[in-house]
Every structure is written in structure tokens, then in C-alpha cells.
A and B are shown apart, each in its own frame.
Chain A
Amino acid sequence: MKKMLTIGGVSPHAVKKALLFMKLTFLLILVATMQVSAKVNGQERLSLNLRQVEISKALNSIEKQGVYRFLYNSRLNTIHKKINIDVKDLGIRDVLNNMFTGTDLTFKMLENNLIVVVSSSPEAQDIKITGKITGENGEPLSGVSITVKGTSNGTSTDNNGNFTLTVPEKGRLVISYIGYETQEVAINNQSVINVKLTTAKKTMDEVVVIGYGQATKRDLTGSIVKIEGKEIADKPNTNPVASLQSKVAGLYVVNNGTPGQTPDIRIRGTGSIASISPLYVVDGVFTYDINYVNPQDIESMEVLKDPSSLAIFGNQGANGVIIITTKRAKAGQSFFTFSTSTGFKQLVNKIKLANASQFNTLFAEENANNGVTNNGYVTLPDLQNNTDWIDAVTRKGIQTANNLSIANSTDNNKFNFSIGYTLDQGMVVKEQLKRITATINDECKINRWLKVGVNFTAMREDLPYDATGVLGLARQVMPQVSAKTKPYKVQNLYGNDTITQNLYSTTYSALQNSGVQNPFIDMQNRIYNIDILYRYVGSVYAEINLMKHLTFRSAVYGDFSNENHRQYTPLFYGYDPKDGSPVVINAQTKLVQGLTSLRNAQTDNLLTYKNSFQNHNLTVIAGATTYSHQINYNQMWVVTPDNSQPIPFNKRFWYPSAWPYSEVTNDPTKTYSYNYEPNYTAGFFGRALYNYDQKYYLNASIRRDGSSSFLPAHQWGTYWTVGAAWELTRESFMAGQKTFDFLKLKGSAGTLGDQAVPTGVYYPSYPGLNSSGQTVWPLPDPTTGYGGAGFITNTTYGKAYIANPDLHWETVHQYEFGVELEAFQRRLHFEATYFRRKTDGAMGLYYIAGVNKLENLVDIENKGQEFSASWNQPVSRDLSISLAGNITFIQNKVLAFSDPSFTYIDQTSQNNGEQDSRTIVGQPVGEFYGYIAKGVFQSYAQILASPVQSSLGQIRPGDLIYADLPDPATGKPDGVIDSKDRTYIGNPSPKFTYGASLNVNYKAFSLGVDIGGVWGNKIFRAWGSLEAPYQRVNYAGFQLDAWHGPGTSNWTPLLSQGDRANYVGSTYSIENGSYARIRNLQIAYTVPQHVFSKTSPIKALRVYLNAQNLITWKNNSGYTPEFGGFTQYSTLQSGNTLSAAATTFPPNPLQFGIDQGGGAIPRILSAGLSVTF
């Protein structure tokens, strides 16, 4: 404890909490071990003093000491021989030699302290059987223990998985092996018994992938959660991480309903105010974008949360790591599997908006409030519609994922190939993602000491139309506008003839001419996009066995992508609903072509030493790695010089090169931009995993990393971790108890780093220039000397950002301790962890006098408790039930600013600068800030009797009443509502997140239900509360309750965009973000194995139905309670620009939990099938 204290720099309060947690955990263990605590005498060295006992009894008493287990045939005569033995403090070999003196018995030590006792003189009794024990995929298993049930008679398999055993004719064999399910087989007079073992569900012996290696969970001191690929494969999410929602304690996933979008993922809280995304390691490749990983190809995902697993990732480990391992063929496998699933996406929890007659009523009410008559639209024939715009722009989207994989593997060559096709239609009309992935990997064992392999994945993704924002537009358009087209005779803008076109209505300009548009016109404009992303990720590696225990592995990884973007904006018409006449909406054709190419390269060189000495087990690695990341970004655009020569509506011409002068870069009709943003890191690392007799564990690692993002003085950082664990169940004092099958106490502490620098600020230490400014001077007319002869333009330079030569890493100090246990015949699995993460110098971008500066700005603390438990209950041979749950409590707090003169970081957004989040010392990151609304003024008398609110604008009955908070100086309210009356009005981060699942297997059927949710967070609803004053948008449903006379409402203020006092950020806009959701409900049927004959081409078949996001219980008025960090959306609709690189990291934790009236998360009903040949 003491050590941890100094590491973390913990406050006394934190220590108290931590101590309490430890005490509770310890108490639990203490109670459970009470009855066995008297027997503490177990040592690895043995003492034995027995008189006149059978050898078998003597072996029994050694077994009771809890270290060794014996296997022998109880029918051996000599095993019943009575002996005297008196030894003190001897090793097992000496004890046994002593015992067996004068008998024909010998013994053989196997792994895991298993000792086989055999007779040197063969006895011909019973029957002799032979057999082979293999794993799930037919690979031979050596060292498997085989015993006759109820006896100590047994043996173990040799290197090829074979065994020979003499057994009684009747009886059962018990076959057990670490990492596999124990299986029983009836002997029934068979002479050959071959058994295939299935992988165990025992969490502790599971092999997990860690940084630069593998280990069993038992060997580690940290918290790693493994998710099997099959849990992901049958869920309708194109991004595999989306399927992890509510499944893993400490992993917070905020999903996004737009195809191709990455969820907002946080591991153990919001550790930074800038980069919060975890690192993904896909088969060794470091990446922050896993869109190329086909969910069906995933073998497992490991979520790494704790210092002892993360420090090895050095400067990229701070936000946690998700390791993804793709499927590999296993020896002896040869199959192909086809899986397919198709589902329908559906908008649920539609937001409530006014319909046409309600709009009329409310608009008349608003006009009356402002003393205006302004209803020219009411009688216009084209504005007599009652369009439900949300229905109009949404649809049932189809989502389908199809995958074919082929595996063929021999002992020396393992080959895998898979190809996947995904179609993911959004809920919004025309939104559609298509993705094809192909993966090939091969590993070849050249000889005894050399293994080489290659992995390669190619992806093509086609996402032409970014519909983000369409739902927002649909919310804004007044329902009177028609969503249907009408035929009009119009001038063909591409030629001279007149043509008939089906035109959409524009919005009614007298009311909605500022930024509100018929979304269909927008779609029509933006759909001519060709946006194709190719990505190639591959690696080659070689593994050399240098010596018996020493392996060298070298790998080179490449991750290249090209995104080709072309957007054509055609000429098009709409019709004006006022007079029903066609209007040209876009009179200029435009063509934008952009290419973004990414080149990431990575090298790893790794030495692994693995050995056991007596009871000391050690795995040591040492390695070096380099990583480079480069972006090239090119963009060119063309507009035709005048409207008489539009770019035709013909794909053939949608290239800048198809147009004259295209080679001339200073042609004013074209622009060309180029950006090259490299970043390099290099690191050295080492790690030792040690355990003594699988009782005491020690993990330690160190990494030294350098990054080109910083100046040499701040380039290098060193990260380390130490972890320890104690497996109590291996102790002899626990030997007699039956409750715990496994009990481990663990703790680790260490440091991690984060060097991520936001897009666009790749060299924050250098004074970068911004050359986007331009000046123009008129050329003087030669006769007058004044303007009139054209122009000359100049490019200007300004600062891109303020250089910060002192910028350095973010450093995270983290510690955790916890307990893992399995109990009640391994039916219960339970883990509890307390952690504390402290980020020092989290980088933040702030705005100072017009430019950004990146600085190590704040220290942030996240502490919390994670609990997860599962219970597996076999009810009968046919029925089993398992129940699992997890819950995570996280407290997030800003501890300090790097410069004590800073008080907070302000993030304002929304139209009128009133929606604030503040990040201040002592409060959570990004907490909402504003006034407290107490109700609505009912009368002038009430206004006069209340604190003066005039600093917020003119106040009248119907306006919100804000609370007059006590003045910090006097402790009393000052009778005036002003800026000093703002306070913290809601934390966007939940107090806890939870998930639970129930799985029932009955014969070949299985039913799974996943539930997840969050509790205790707030949502800032910006729509319906903070509309831009220059926009007339449709009314929110809740505005039907707006105040319209004394006593009509005490919460929703009167309708009037002029009453800006109602448009300040306040609790009026704050909603409860807690929710619970049935995330998945799945029913599956696996055709039983016996159905397929030996000659059947089909080897396995599974069908299932899945419902995702079936029901959500929520408290807010938006589509969904899930709002990730606000990201800057692309500005594609302007036509001239590609999606601009946001100058902040998306997702932005400072703008988290804001409901802009979009973001719907669909319900997906899908059916799937998986068949193996």
C-alpha cells in the first residue's frame, strides 16, 4: 500500500476509500477460508511421519498437503504395501524414493505437479486400452491426465496425444487437461478410446493475448477481459467495438447510428480532454481505426485496462488498448465456413414534433406574443401538407453481412482465407455503406527452428453519402412543406431544350430562408459523391528458435490506405411553394476531387525467453519497435467558368482533368492543396512474467518511447509497471475448503503515456503557418487610376497555432488492486477491482487571441470500481443457464491546471453561445454550466417581486425564472440574476454503467439476452431550447405545453425567439441521461452433431434470430440517450471542401452528451446462418 501511495500521489480521501474496498474484499475471503485456516502447514518441502500405512494412503496424505497429485492403478499390488516413513523437510523426489524403496514402484513427474506412479513389473490385469486425446480441431494434446473414475489409477498422454492404460472393463475414464473441459467417457469394453476435448470455460486458464505475447489469465496480475469472436460475429454491427457495449466492466461505449461511424469509446473514464480513444492492436498492427476488420474474422478481443498490461504500449497505452486477434487455422483443420446475416434497421423512439395544424397554432401563438401578424403561408395551396418529415427521410434500412472463410492447415503450414461483404444501409434514405474485405494469412514452419508468416487484409469501402445532419434538417422543416415531387417543365440547364422534371418543393422562404432546407433537395445535391476507401494492412514475420527457451521474432507491418473522393454538384431546380414556380437552386456545377492517403509502417523485433526452473516460471521479453505515420492529402476542384458551360451530368466528365486548364494550378477556377503530416515514434521495451509455483506472481515491464511530436528535450518518456498477485487457492491452508476453486488477490501500479497530437497540429512545437488568408487589390484603370481593371490577389501568412516548445507527453499514473475468484465448482466467477488513474498534463487545445495553442493543460483523476460476476448453472443434461453481470462506478475529477492562473476550460457551442460546458478543478471533465430554471413567470407582479433578471434581456410573463444563487462573498443571494448565478448543472458522464446477460441453452437451442445501461448522467438538449435566432424551425412536441397565459405552464416558457433570456443554458435544457436497454436478444439453433452423417458435406450448422436495441427505457426527449463527444461534421454541402479535418480530436470529451436533435440509434432485427463444410 505504501508504495502505491507514493506512486499515485493519492489524496487521503482516496486512500480511505481504497482501504475500505480492500477491507471488504479481505473480509469476504477471510470468512470463506475460516474453516481451513487451522491446517496451515503446507510447504513445498515435505515432512511426513507415518507408521504402518499403505503406500496409497501415504500418497494420499502427501496429496492432502495440496501441492502434488498422484496417478496410479489401485490394483497394483505393491501400492497397498504397508510402510513406515519418517522424513523431514525433503523434496518430493527424495520422499518418494524413500517410500518406494523395496517395491517395484517407480514414478514420473509431469507438469503441474502431477506424479504418475507405475509398477516396473507389468501386471496383466483387466484390459489394456489405447487412445488419442485431441483438441477441438484435432490437434494432439500431450500431458493430458486420464484416470479411472473413483480410483487413482491413471496416466497421461505422450507428445502425440497417445496414451495406454490398463483399466477395468466397466467404468468411466475422467480426462482432464488444463484449459479444457474435463470429460468423462464410459469404457464399455472398448480397446481404443479417442477423445476430443473442448476448450474450457474456466476463465482463469484461458489464454489471453497481451502486448507482444500471450499468457494465461492466471499468469497475469492485471485486468484483461477477453471477448470471444463468436459473441461479435452474430451481432449486426459493422464496427466490432459497438458489440462490446455493456459487456465489459470499465469499458464505456457510446454508439452511433450512422453507418461507418466509430463509437465513442472510453476505458476507465475520461482520462484526457483531448484524445480519449483507445489504441487497437490488430494482430500486432497498431491502429486507431479498425474499420478494415471484418467482425466475422475475429477470434477474440481483449480489453486491456490496467497498468500491468498497458505499460508495454508505452506512449500509446494511456487510454487503454483493445487487442483484436483474427482467426487462424489450427493444425489439422480443413474446412470452409459460410456465414450470413440480414437484418432490418428501423428508427425507434422518434422525437415528437408539431404537425401542420399544431405548427399553425404555435406559430400564431408566437406571433401573438410578439404582436405581429405574419401568416402569409396559411392559404398558399402548396403549403397545405402535413408532412412527417422524419418519416419522410427515414426508411427500413437493410443490413447484411456475408462471410466465407477457408482454412487449411497441416502441422507445417497453416492457411486461412476469408472474404466478407457488408452492406449497411442507414435509416436515412440513400445512406449506405458497402464494404468488402479479404484476408489471407499463412504461417509456415520451415524447419525445427524457423517459422515465417504473412498476413494481409484488403478492404474496399464505399460510403458515398454522409447523411449526418439529415435528421436534423428533417426536424427543422415545417410540416406544411411537401415531401413529394411535382412535374415541371423547365429549361434544361445542360442544354437548350425544355424538359419535364420532377421537382421537390423548397422551403417557404418568407419563414425558413436561413439554413433550413427541404432535406430531399439536399440529398439530391449531395448524392453524386464517389467516395471509395481502399485500405491494405499486412505484415510479414519470422520467428526463430534461437535456443531451447529463446525465441526471436521480427515483424514488419504496413497499413496503407487511399481514400478517393469525388463529388459532383449538378445544376438543379426546386419549386417555390409560394407561387408554384420552378426555381434554379444550384446554378453552378462543381467538381471536387480529393485523395487522402495514409501510410503507416511499424517494425517489431522481439526476443522471448521462457523457462521453468523447479517451481520458478519465467517469461521474459525484450524488444524494440518503430512506428511511422504519414498522411498525404490532395484536393482539387473545378467550377465551370460560366453557367453556359456546365459540367455535364455524366460521370465521364467528373474529373478535374476532363476540363481545360486543369494542369494550371493557379487557374482561379481550381485549387490544389497538399498536406503532409508525418509522425514517428520509436521504443524499447522489456517485460518479465514470473511466478513461483503458480502461487506468487510478479509482472513487471518497462518501455522507453520517443516521439517526433515533441522537441528533443521532451521527446523521450519512460513507462513502467509492477504487478503482483497471490493465488490463495494454491496454498495448503486452502486445500480443505470446497468453496473456492480459485482465489487470487492482485495489484499493479505503473505509468502510461499518450502522445496523440490533434489533426492539423502535427508539429505543435514549431511555429506553423497558416496560409489560407488572401488579400485582393483592384488593378487601377489606366485612365482614371482607380479600380476597374481587374484584381491581383496575394496569399497571406498567419500563425497556424501558437508554437509550444515545452509540450510533452501526457503521463498517466495508474494503480489498481482487486480480487478474482471462482467458486462453487467453478459456477461462480467473480472479479472486483478498484483503480485510480491520474493523468498529468493532459494535452488540451485552447484558443488564444484567434489561434490555437496545444498545451499540457490539466491533471485529471478517474477512480472507480469494477465488478463482474457470472454464474453458470447446469440444470440437467439438456439445460444450462448462465447469468453474467458487470457494473462500473467511475468518479471523474479535474485535479489541477498546469498553470494555476487558469480556472476552467470553456466549451461553448450552439447558435447563441449559450450552451456551455466547463472543465474546472474539482468537477468532472466537460460538466454543463448555466442557470437553474425554477419555473415560468406568470405575471408582471411576480416579476417585480422576484430578483431582477434584466441582465438577461427584457423579461415578461412567460419567461423562465432563474434561481438567484448566494453570492460567494456574502453567502446571500444578491437579488439580481446575472452571470454570477450560473453554476454546474449536470455531468455528462454516468455515475455507473452496467450490463447483464442471461444465456439459456436447452438441447440445441440457445437464448441470449443482453441488457445494458448507464445511470446518473445528464444530457444537454439543444434542440427545441436553443434554436438559432435567425432560423425558423418546426416546434418540438413539448412546446405544445408552452406558456400562453397565467397558469398554463410553469416549465416550458412562452414561444418567442426574441425572448433570449429563455435561450441561455439552464436546467431547462438539462435532461436525465440514465437509460436501460435490451441491447440484444438472440435465439439460436445449432443443428446437433449426430444429425450429420460421416459422409455429410455439412459439418456444422447454426441459425439464429437477433434483435438489437429492442427496447430502451430512457428519460430524455431525444431519439436516444447516447451522445458521444461532439465531433465537427463535414461541410460537404458547401460543395467546395472535403470534410475538413477537425482541429480537435473527435470525439471531443469537452462536448459530450449534447443532443442536437439527431443521432438516432436504430433497432435492428436480423436473422443469420452459419454453416461449415
Chain B
Amino acid sequence: MAFAGIAMLLDGCTKFLDRKPLSATADDLGSGSGAFEKKALGLYSALRGDAGFSTLAWLDFHSIRDDDAQKGSSISDGAEINAEFETFQYTKNDWATNAYWGDHFNLIQLANEIIHDADSVKPTDEGSKRNIGEACFFRAYSYFELVKAYGETYLPLENFYYTSPNQQIVPNAQPGQIYALIDSDLTIASQYLPVTWATATGNSNLGRLTSGAANTLWAQTYLFRGNWSRVIGLCNQVISSGQYKLDSPFTNIWKDGLNGAGKVGPESIWENINYVGPNQTPWIGTQWGTSQNVRQGGASVDWNLGWGWNTPTQNLVNAWDSATDPRRDMTILFSGRYDGGTATGGYGNTLPAYNPGVLLDQKYWNKKVYSDPQMRSFTGQIGSSGGADWIDHRILRYADVILMLAEASNETGDGATAEQMLEKIRSRARNGGDPTKVLPHIAYSTQAQMRQAIKNERRWEFAMEGYRFYDLVRWGDAPAVLGSLGYQPKNALYPIPQPIIDQFLGKLTQNPNYP
């Protein structure tokens, strides 16, 4: 035994201590073709896993802030969100706001890493280029969300990739600098990403990012910058790719049933894809659906479908011309009423009545995420384990391309195209109804009239989907529409989270409106 010990030492301690990891490291992934694939897939995984993209934090920033959606849930649940996002008492240190900022920068960092590695390797194979395209897309997407939410953010130094905290301590980047990065990233993404992942042998990557997604996102960024010609150009590129069409009926867009039925449908340009297996195994889901489905409140456990956030306001219900727009009953689920059956995206059930603290806590619920009972049983997300983690977040859909084209055309004086595009949306929404009574055709008369029609159309088409707040800000309508809720012009931008300001040692400065 002594000899064993001595022999071990004689063998050389260095050898004894030279232990390489017994699992794969980044070095083992190699640098050639395929080296980027697993990391690129990691971007999708992060998008799905982080609250800043999929669940409450996303809903706070995108939807709850507008006049048509509210926090929902029960009165006591998330009471701080009422103050923060419905009455515009923006706070600088809260889990939701911190997560929103943090998750976007995490995704940026993951993308940076791929782009950084690609810069050093300069791969030329198609697979790697697609991965680079994906990374550029994700980075552009995150920065676009950040510039909308915060205005000035920051751009990390040195290849945008950092491994030490001091490398990220940089001053504010102006929106112009951020948009410049977005443009360069989307140039690459729209070039490198395929039009479709389908090949002769099939498509095992249905729903993965395409050049259509890059162009749609890019068009959105130009829409926010009022660069109408670029919007028109990009929208036409998406349309002419022939990959997408408006799905009909409208309820089809939101279908999310057994075996993935309804996922990545004809209108889907990009969605955050989820899957929950039997008994929640495997669980490759998000709480997107869970966070918005009917909250049980005091009702029977059969109605424990989710947390009940992001619910329609009375304002939306009142403002909606129910007689002529079938989308209203496809968007709003009414407490105490029959869910309308398949015709309006229901399943033949009647909801318990609105009675806070006793039955349901909200009058209205977001029907676009109303969970399919078959899927509840299939996944086991039922009863006291209720939820709807399998539901996809449809992030980019073709209707937006059509309405962006309508808006940009109208702004550039092309009333005809605007009218034509608007009608495309309305005719689909009409759902086979009588065009004279239901959502009648709107003819172009003036630019202002058409502008208002498009604004209205976006409100109905995208209700509860998280477009409206940023649309109102973009149109300059926010003070008028949201003023009564407490909105002031400074509320267009959210303050940077305090922990971030703290971390940046004063180099990153807070929005001066939020001292």
C-alpha cells in the first residue's frame, strides 16, 4: 500500500492532477461546420425559457400597458403590476422589469457568442451561415425590443462579446447606434436565413427562423422609424416569397391541439414553439398559455386553466363594434357565458359567472390563448395542476405584414394599396359574413381617414397580442388615449432597472425623466 502511494507520486503528480473534464466542453464542439448548430438551437431554448419573452414580464411591457388589456388575475395578485403598468407608476426595481431587461441581454449575449466565434472562424458552409443568420436575428430582435422599451440601452464593447463584467460597463448607446446594429444584423439574417427549411425529403425544422421572419422584423423596425419605403419594400419581399397566407377562419391562427395541430400554420412567420407531453413529460413549454388562461378564483377546479393575466378591459369590449366584427367573440371569452363552441374558437363550455372572490375574478379573458380541453387531458395540465404550457406565442404573423404594407402605402400616398391590403384583413375577418353588414369594405377617401381605419384595424386584429401600446406610442396617440390612465409622454420609455444602473457604476445613465 505504501508502495502504491509512492508509485503514484513517482508517476508524477502533474499527471495525477492533469484531469480534463469528463464531459464535452465548448472546445469539443470543434469549429467547423456544425459547430454552431447546437448553440444556435440554444437561442430558441433561451427564448422559450426566459420570462422576458414568453410570460408575465413580456405581457407587462407589451400588453398590460395599453388601454385594451389589463393585468387581470385576482385583485390581490400582482398588485404592483397594476401600479407599474396600468397607471404608469414605473418602478425601477421589480422582478418583472429586471427580468425583461436581463432576459433580453442574456439572449444578446448568447447571440454575441456565436457571432464572435464566427468572426474568428469565418465559416463558409451553408449550415454555419444559417446559424449566424439566426444569431443575428435574435440579437436584432432583442435590441429592437429594448430600444422600444427603453430608448437608450448599451452595446457591449469588443466584438459585442464579453466575459468579464467590466467589459460591459460602457456608456449609453443612442437609439441611432442601436438601430444601426439592428440593420446590419438583419441584413445578414435576411441573406443567410433560408426562405424555408423544407427540403425534398421533408421539413424537420418547421417553425425555424426564415428570411421571411428577418424581413418582417426588419419592416417592423422601419415602421417604428417611419421609413415607409423600406417598410413597403420588405413587406413586398415577404409577400412575394409566397410562403405565407392569411389563415381562415381567424380562429385557426390560435388553434393549438393534439399532435401540434395548429402550430406554425400558414399565417405564422415566427412563433415560440412549445410542446408538453403526457403527464407533462417531456416539458418543452412556456408559461405563455398558462399565464393568460382563465384563473380559477373561487370557481370549480375545472376552471383552473391558468393564472388569468392579460385580460380584456371593459374599454375594449365597449369600443368594439360587436355587431359587425366576428373577431370580438374570437378574442374575448366572457365569464358567465357559453364559450361559443368551435365557431368562435370555443369548446362548448359555459364559464362560471363573474363574482370576485367567490367565482371568477374577471369579466373577460383572452380567448386567443383559450386552452383546448383535449390538450389539458393529454398533458395532465388539468384540475389542480391546471395550465396550458403547450401554447405557442405567435410572435410574427402575416397579417402584420399586410397591415404594415397598408400603413406604409397610405403614408406614402398609395391609397389604393392601402385600401386593398386593409380589405384583405377585413375580408378574412368577415369570416364569410355579409360584406355589407359585417366589416364592410372601407374605401380610401383621404389619407387621414385611411390612417384611422388602419389604426382601428390593427386594434381589432391584434387585440390582446401586445401590439397596441407601442403602436399608440409610435402614432403619437398615447397621451390622448392613455392619458386618463396616468400616461405622460415620458412613459413612452421605461426606466432602466436600478440593479443595472448600480452595476454599471454610473457609466450607464438613467433616463433623465426618471431621476
Residues of A at under 8 Å CB distance from B? Answer: 370, 372-377, 506, 508-511, 513-514, 540, 542, 552, 554-556, 574, 576, 578-579, 583-588, 590, 603-605, 624, 626, 639-643, 668-669, 671, 675-682, 706-708, 712, 715, 762-763, 766-769, 771, 773-781, 785-799, 802-803, 846, 848-850, 853, 899, 901-903, 906, 908, 911-914, 950-954, 976, 978-979, 1029-1030, 1032, 1056-1058, 1060, 1063-1064
Contacts and interface: CB of A to CB of B under 8 A. Distances in A.
B135 to A, nearest CB: 13
Contacts of A795: 38, 41
Nearest 7 pairs of A and B residues by beta carbon: A1058-B79, A773-B45, A787-B263, A510-B298, A554-B2, A850-B106, A849-B109
Contact of B5 (A605, A850, A976, A979): A605
11 contacts: A552-B2, A624-B6, A669-B281, A706-B13, A712-B14, A774-B282, A775-B45, A778-B264, A778-B273, A788-B263, A803-B26
B476 interface: no
Interface string B241-271: 0000000000000000001111111100000
Contact of B260 (A576, A579, A790): A790
A1064 B307 CA distance: 25
Contacts of A954: 83, 87, 89
Interface in B97-155: 98, 102, 105-106, 108-110, 113
Given A706-B13, A776-B284, A676 B23 contact: yes
Contact of B301 (A576, A590, A1030): A576
A787 B261 contact: yes
Contact of A777 (B19, B106, B273, B383): B273
A678 B498 CA distance: 40
B23 A768 contact: yes
A626 B165 contact: no
B259 A509 contact: no
B83 A775 contact: no
B281 A668 contact: yes
A586 B76 CA distance: 26
Interface residues of B, number: 118
B78 A793 contact: no
Contacts, number: 351
Contact of B261 (A668, A767, A788, A1030): A788
B255 to A, nearest CB: 9
Contacts of A853: 163-164
Contacts of A508: 298
Interface of B: 1-2, 4-6, 8-9, 13-14, 16-29, 38-39, 41-42, 44-46, 48-49, 73-84, 87, 89, 91-95, 98, 102, 105-106, 108-110, 113, 162-166, 168-169, 198, 202-208, 259-266, 273-275, 277-282, 284, 295-298, 300-301, 304, 307, 355-358, 361, 380, 382-385, 498-499, 501-503, 505, 514-515
- Looking at B263, B280, B296, the one whose CB has the most chain A CB atoms below 10 A away is B263
A796 B38 CA distance: 5
B260 A778 contact: yes
Interface centre among A513, A671, A911, A914 (most CB of B within 10 A): A513
B280 A588 contact: yes
B265 A786 contact: yes
Nearest to B207: A777
Given A787-B206, A796-B39, A796-B41, 9 more contacts: A374-B356, A376-B358, A583-B384, A766-B27, A773-B41, A773-B49, A786-B266, A797-B38, A913-B95
Given A377-B357, A776-B274, A911 B282 contact: no
Contacts of B515: 951, 976, 978
A769 B24 contact: yes
A588 B380 contact: yes
Contacts of A513: 295-296, 304
A763 B21 contact: yes
Nearest to A795: B38
B282 A793 contact: yes
A607 B169 CA distance: 55
Given A682-B9, A954-B89, A583 B165 contact: no
Given A788-B259, A901-B166, A979-B498, A370 B79 contact: yes
A680 B361 CA distance: 59
B259 A789 contact: yes
B414 to A, nearest CB: 32
Contacts of B502: 906, 979
B163 A848 contact: yes
Contacts of A952: 91
Nearest to A581: B300
Nearest to B1: A556
A953 B27 CA distance: 48
B162 to A, nearest CB: 7
A977 to B, nearest CB: 11
B156 to A, nearest CB: 9
Given A510-B297, A583-B383, A853-B163, A1029 B2 contact: no
Contact of B18 (A376, A708, A846): A708
B165 A787 contact: no
A973 to B, nearest CB: 14
A513 to B, nearest CB: 6
Contact of B304 (A509, A554, A787, A1030): A509
A514 B202 CA distance: 44
Given A794-B41, A1029-B77, A680 B16 contact: yes
Nearest to B26: A767
B19 to A, nearest CB: 4
